Amino acid sequence: MIMKIKTYFFLWVLMFSAGMLAAQEAAVEESPGDEEPIEPVMELTYLKDSDGNVNLRSSMVNYVDRMPVPLTGLEIDFYAGEDSLVALGSVPTDEEGLAVLVLEGNPDVPLSADGSVRYFAEYMGTDNIYPAEYEVYVTDVNLEMNLEMVDSVGTVSLRAYTLVDGEEVPVADEDVYVYIKRMFNDLPIGEDFLDENGEFVTEVPDDIPGDAEGNIEIIARFNDHYLFGTVEKRQTVPWGVPTQYDFAVPQRTLWTQIAPLWMIITLSILLIGVWSHYLYVIVQLFRLRRLARKEEPGSLV
């Protein structure tokens, strides 16, 4: 009987030790030092601004519970070309997970067989973050904007073309937009397809509020075009309605922080009258108390 008890006790100790060992191994596997590396989501967009500069904008985020979390301080390398890459530069991501590289002027980049340019962004990765890369193919397009008054009406004239072997080729049947710069969202005032000459004309409404001098900013743009990316032209003209912001003189009213003067004086008089009555009653109480002591037998007062 004693031998059976010893055998059962030995088996119990052995099973308990095995369970503790397995729990320790599981805890080690789940320790923060062995977490799975982050798999970032990268995007790359192209913008040719009004000065003809190329802006490459790369974003790096990590989705946590379906919400994007910016990845900051990651070095993004930018290239151009296909077989032989040309290094354009490296930019770290900011607090919003964005890395923006600006190529001034007309950058000398290798062209593909169809005349487009392959822009390439790459993140090399670390022990904690997987590598990532993204590419876009962009065909360079020139967008020209001319602003003039025609019969007292502000008119926007656009012309778009590409260069093929040094010759201008009009861009036809492509959608182009015209906006007026606003504080939050740009105000669209025109949209249409370019004609066979790559041209488009629209008018500017004459009731658009501007600044104090009536200046407004006109924007012509290809929006995330499948061939051209985003290309825009901006120009400021005095075609708006001058806007003056007059600050109202502070007034004393019932709904302002400072009450009307007559109300303050009236309330002060009423409060003084009320407290005067309180003081008069207190003085009379003390006088009655002194009179009562004088009438008491044997009082010395």
Cα–Cα dist 203/239, whole Å: 11
pLDDT tens, position by position, 155-202: 999 999 999 888 999 999 999 999 999 988 999 999 999 999 999 999
Residue owning tokens 């789940």:
30
* pLDDT above 50 (res 32): no
Which is nearest to 171 in space by CA: 222, 234, 107, 235? 222
* pLDDT above 90 (res 29): no
What backbone torsions phi and psi does residue 17 show, to the nearest 5 degrees?
-65, -40
pLDDT above 90 covers a percentage of the chain that reads 63
pLDDT tens, position by position, 218-267: 999 999 999 999 999 999 999 999 987 666 667 777 777 788 888 889 98
* pLDDT above 60 (res 23): no
Cα–Cα dist 290/298, whole Å: 14
What is the model's pLDDT at position 297?
66
100 contacts 91 by C-beta, under 8 angstroms: yes
Cα–Cα dist 171/194, whole Å: 7
Domains of the chain, start order: 41-138 (2.60.40.730), 142-224+231-237 (2.60.40)
Amino acid at residue number 49: D
Instruction: Say how many Å lie between the first and final Cα of the chain, rounded.
Output: 108
Residue owning tokens 């900051």:
72
* pLDDT above 70 (res 7): no
Pick the range with the lowest mean pLDDT from 18-27, 144-153, 270-279.
Answer: 18-27
Q: 27: how many CB neighbours lie within 10 A of its CB?
A: 9
E-strand stretches of 50-115: 54-64, 67-70, 75-80, 86-92, 98-103
pLDDT tens, position by position, 87-126: 999 999 999 999 999 999 777 888 888 889 999 999 999 9
Cα–Cα dist 49/182, whole Å: 18
Let me know how long the chain is. 301
Instruction: Give me the mean pLDDT over the 136-161 stretch.
Output: 95
Which is nearest to 189 in space by CA: 160, 220, 166? 220
Instruction: Give the SS3 label for residue 15.
Output: helix
